Structure 1
């Protein structure tokens, strides 16, 4: 089902319009200060066309005000790969997410200004009523977590520092304070859920697929809903595998209109292979997670992935065991059940919608993938650390087990492998990185400051060509057109 994307945009202005599309997709909340001072003006210029195209193509709703642009995305799956981050780039833990939610609730009861200590006391009063949470301002650990939540809001303009310092308060709340101005409009934009939440009994009810068009909505509405879901699947994931989708969704993934719409909307290209389809973002214009990339974890993951891919290509008596991968519906069920354990047991209604629509399920034909064991992975990571450890960060070089876990998490997030009990399954996209080579090149130390230990850098790996026409390809630095996950989504 094709749509008339960017219908009112001239050829000369199309690149500028696509830049605005990528901006709002990457930053679901845009304010006068976030992500920068010019982003809001860029989006507001194209607001009417953006609202129309984002709804028609993806089912996303764009809400603009004088000081905000808020994208309400439709969610089809649970995704832990785009968390809220603190200023140091570390993901929020459960405590920080809880403090952020309670801070938003508390700010609704305050006036135009609030002192940090006063806000902390209000959040602490609410946190004490939640078993296992609490907020003790006498504990540095709790203060740091609370300040991370407040800083997240400050970065987006919901709070403006008028006086004092949050960092100083976190060090010594008895001797320091911080005063903030509260921006009600941005607070409203942040706390704007797409669904009524109080009666939900499962996180599945938050998903768009759980409340998609029913048979009573008519066949055309159903086709439109599936077409939007197919485009979202390609847009928000490194690759969309046909084997992981039902027949109707696969039909939309194979349709020429999908590639035409996404290419004209985002300015990126679509690449098809026998097993799936990927949106190519080789320049990183829309990608929030690049791969391959610099850093110890990304380099170790690339080298480990190359070794898994080599094993997966073996045939005959040396071929690895092949096992089926969990379907999208099965992965959703596992994640949802884990989250649902934290829901309160009482005061809720029965489940409002079906857990998973039938068309979320994979085809009945089982697809098998090469399997490698956990012990094999540990051995390969030790080998990688011994060979390339001079270019790795010292803390990870000395802890191969932690490096392995983080590398596997990254490969899993990129849809290169899927983790299963006892090991991992190699997915077709991993063949893109078969034959990777790397070298550690010694740096020349400065004469004035000789290092205490040899310095080295792991040079970028050389990528192999795609293994063949049956392998779904991805760019060298592709993470699909992922949108950073904020609580403002």
Structure 2
């Protein structure tokens, strides 16, 4: 609530700043605030939706259930129940052939768990407010109901695409994504520079690292080389983040953690294994610059660490054969932080991974 009060108090400044520097629009009403962001690039699959009570990334089925729940809630009364939402989802699945391949059965606990995860995300985004009941008990049995208030003013603002999905006629997946976020292409000098500035700032605000020169188009790189000090200064003043400006790229480091979805280091087995792997891959990058590290090499390293820390890691992470699942989780985290990038047969360690080496060589961290 305090954050919302501050947003309303500084609403005009925030609207102007986001529009000018990122091309994003900010909608503020008496009841909610919604920032309509356009992603810097469309193929990042590493930071999927998740509810705070369920740390599992959304699967394809959870995304579908989330969208179907929104479809039902748009036409719902002021209150609804989890059971009503579930029955509405089933009706849509049965009526539309495009959902024929989606397995969803309320008699199945996994199906109910996925529906609850979708509803929890709606609650956390203030589209629903739980009035009575416990959704975890619904997972155990569909006879346990949960009552919600429906906040239509939020539901109407959740969709952030520039074009309604139903109006997209393209069939190719990438073309459909592009159509949802398509922006007018302005070719005059000043307007073109504005679009480039938006592209760069979106990368710096949304993504962990902007690597140079590979992450920018030729035009954007030329613009950035001229405007680099100014762009960095504007972002530093507006965000209060720590700017890490290096030869290999730029990152905005979140000093308080309230803008971070995945941290490093983090507590727990997954966090510890990720930190150890980051240090290991940093050493390999020095020894084998530009080389793809095979997944099997990482799995072997994880297996060795599991034996070393078997007294401290959770039991299912130290059992024989568990290194494959843990390696996949660790690499997902490192990829989400843009410390590695996937390649055929393995991963390519990126320059920012050297932040997690114990011994930093001067040539690796020297600023531009």
- Interval containing the TM-score (normalised by the shorter chain): 0.7 to 0.9
CA RMSD of aligned residues (A): 2.4
Q: Distance in 1 between matches of 2:301 and 2:140?
A: 43
Shift of 1:260: 0.9
Query: Which among 311, 322, 333 is matched to residue 390 of structure 1?
Result: 311
Match of residue 313 from structure 1? 286
Structure 1 or 2: more helix by fraction: 2
Structure 2 equivalent of residue 179 of structure 1: 147
Cα distance, 1:405–1:164 mapped onto 2, change above 3 Å? closer
Residue 367 of structure 2 corresponds to residue 402 of structure 1: no
Residue 137 of structure 1: aligned partner: 106
State whether structure 2 residue 339 is matched by structure 1 residue 416. Answer: yes
For 2:47 and 2:24, how far apart are their aligned partners in 1? 18
Q: Residue 355 of structure 1 corresponds to which residue in structure 2?
A: none
The question of 1:377 aligning with 2:298 is answered yes
The answer (yes or no) to whether the contact 2:306–2:317 under 8 Å persists in 1 is no
Moved more, 227-236 or 146-155: 146-155
| Contact in 2 for aligned 1:75/1:208 (Cα 8 Å) | no
> What's the secondary structure of 2:14's corresponding residue?
helix
Deviations for 1:42-91, whole angstroms, at most 9, x for unmatched residues?
21111110000011111111001111100000112132233222323222
For the structure 1 residues 309 and 101, does the alpha-carbon distance in structure 2 shift closer, same or farther, using more than 3 Å as the test?
same
How far the C-alpha of 1:213 sits from its partner, in A, is 5.1
Partner deviation per Cα, 1:101-123 (whole Å, 9 max, x = no partner): 11110112222222332221111
1:179 CA displacement: 2.8
Aligned counterpart, 1:248? 219
Cα gap change, 1:311/1:116 in structure 2, threshold over 3 Å: closer, same or farther?
Answer: closer
Write the mapping of 1:130-209 to structure 2, written as runs, cut at 5 A: 130-174=99-143, 176-198=144-166, 199-201=168-170, 202-207=173-178
Deviation larger for 86-95 or 52-61: 86-95
Structure 2 equivalent of residue 366 of structure 1: none
Pair 1:122 & 2:88 matched: yes
> Structure 1 residues 205 and 229 mapped into 2: Cα distance closer, same or farther (>3 Å)?
farther
Change (3 A) 1:43 1:226: same
Instruction: Give me the whole-angstrom Cα distance separating, in 1, the residues matched to 2:344 and 2:26.
Output: 41
Partner Cα distance (1:200, 1:310) in 2: 48
Output aligned runs, 1:204-215, within 5 Å. Answer: 204-207=175-178, 211-212=182-183, 214=185
Report the alpha carbon displacement of residue 170 of structure 1 after superposing the two structures with TM: 3.5
Q: 1:388 to 1:134 in 2, by over 3 A?
A: closer
Indicate the residue corresponding to 2:50 in structure 1: 85
Matches within 5 A, 1:12-411: 37-77=1-41, 78-86=43-51, 87-128=53-94, 129=96, 130-174=99-143, 176-198=144-166, 199-201=168-170, 202-207=173-178, 211-212=182-183, 214=185, 217-244=187-214, 245-254=216-225, 255-314=228-287, 320=288, 369-398=290-319, 399-411=322-334
**Quick check: which has more Rg, 1 or 2?**
1
Match of 1:452 in 2: none
Structure 2: tracts of 5 or more residues without a match = none
Q: How many residues align?
A: 354
Q: Helix, strand or coil for the counterpart of 2:194?
A: helix
Contact residue 161 and residue 180 of structure 2 kept, 8 A: no
Pairing 1:424-435 to 2, within 5 Å after superposition: 424-435=347-358
Contact 1:55-1:61 within 8 A present in 2 as well: yes
> Structure 1 length normalisation: TM-score?
0.67
Q: Work out the CA distance in 1 between the residues paired with 2:142 and 2:296.
A: 49
Give distance in 1, aligned partners of 2:10 and 2:139.
Answer: 41
Distance 1:145 1:313 in 2: 43
Which residue number corresponds to residue 468 of structure 1? 362
Question: Which ranges of structure 1 fall in alignment gaps of 5 or more residues?
Answer: 1-36, 315-319, 323-368, 436-463, 474-489
* CA contact 2:354–2:364 (8 Å) conserved in 1: no
Residues 157 and 370 (structure 1 numbering): CA distance in 2 closer, same or farther, change over 3 Å? Answer: same
Secondary structure at the residue paired with 2:292?
strand
Mark the CA change 1:280 to 1:180 in structure 2 (over 3 Å): closer, same or farther.
closer
Q: Distance in 1 between matches of 2:107 and 2:176?
A: 39
